[in-house]
């Protein structure tokens, strides 16, 4: 099948969302936990979390265009400067998926979707207790993407919680974390390690 730009524009909104959200392949599935200055918590599923740098340890995610009904995650981050990123595991995919509903700001997705708030080391933002791989983030910068009204939210890792069994030879085995991936709007995937290769140096590249 071949789609031109015109063909894509003709697709109904939901079909277009599913297709274009899938073309980059399987992405990490994460829940971002926040709290506002009134103590009301929010939890939302994101598939746009991406590594931006290791020193300092920077992670980014895309916040969609905000309206009065949505955008609670970014609003809370701007208020408090703190948030958490939590991997999703098979045991609570369904709970995590339904945090995507456009709940009123007065309703906490933690309670409504059957997930548990958890706190570490006096860190203000709530972690997801059911997740075994999670990060406490300090908000650093927001970059407006003018072409579609989204925002690249950049944070630095302040706390990192990793399952002991996932650390193998100073490397993270994502298969051992039992974290899941996401594609489109509603399809979830298991992560299976296929191969592992050494850090690449030019003089070690094999002849193909």
Q: Look at residue 154 in the predicted model and tell me its pLDDT.
A: 98
pLDDT at 32: 98
Return the pLDDT at 169: 86
Tokens of 58: 């920077």
HSE (CB half, 13 Å, CA atoms) of 107? Answer: 13
Query: DSSP string covering 119-174, please?
Result: --TT-SSPEETT-SSEEEEEEEEEEEETTTTEEEEEEEEEEEE--GGGEETTEE-H
Both tokens assigned to 181: 């991936």
Q: Rounded CA gap, 19 and 190, in Å?
A: 20
Q: Pull the structure tokens for residue 8.
A: 């894509």
Does domain 26-202 fall into CATH 3.40.50.2300? no
Reported residue count of the chain is 208
For position 21, what pLDDT does the model report? 87
- Tens-binned pLDDT, residue by residue, of the chain (208 aa): 899 999 999 999 999 988 998 998 999 999 999 999 999 999 999 999 999 999 999 999 999 866 555 579 999 999 999 999 999 999 999 999 999 999 998 999 999 999 999 999 899 999 999 999 999 999 999 999 999 999 999 999 999 999 999 998 889 999 999 999 999 889 999 999 999 999 999 999 999 9
């Amino acid at each position: 099948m071949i789609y031109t730009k015109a063909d894509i524009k003709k697709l109904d909104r939901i079909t277009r969302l599913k297709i274009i959200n899938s073309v980059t392949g399987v992405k990490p599935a994460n829940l971002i936990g926040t709290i506002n200055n009134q103590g009301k918590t929010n939890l939302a599923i994101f598939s746009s979390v991406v590594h931006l740098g290791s020193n300092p340890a920077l992670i980014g995610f895309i916040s969609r265009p905000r309206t009065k009904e949505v955008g609670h995650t970014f609003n809370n981050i701007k208020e408090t400067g703190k948030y958490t990123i939590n991997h999703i595991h098979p045991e609570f995919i369904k709970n995590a998926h339904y945090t995507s509903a456009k709940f009123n700001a007065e309703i906490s997705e933690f309670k409504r979707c059957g997930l548990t708030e958890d706190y570490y080391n006096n860190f203000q933002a709530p972690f997801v207790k059911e997740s075994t791989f999670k990060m406490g983030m300090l908000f650093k910068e927001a970059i407006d993407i003018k072409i579609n009204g989204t925002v690249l939210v950049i944070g630095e890792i302040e706390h990192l919680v990793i399952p002991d069994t996932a650390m193998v030879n100073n490397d993270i085995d994502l298969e051992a974390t039992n974290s899941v991936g996401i594609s489109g709007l509603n399809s979830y995937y298991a992560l299976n390690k296929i191969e592992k290769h050494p850090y690449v140096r030019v003089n070690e590249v094999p002849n193909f």
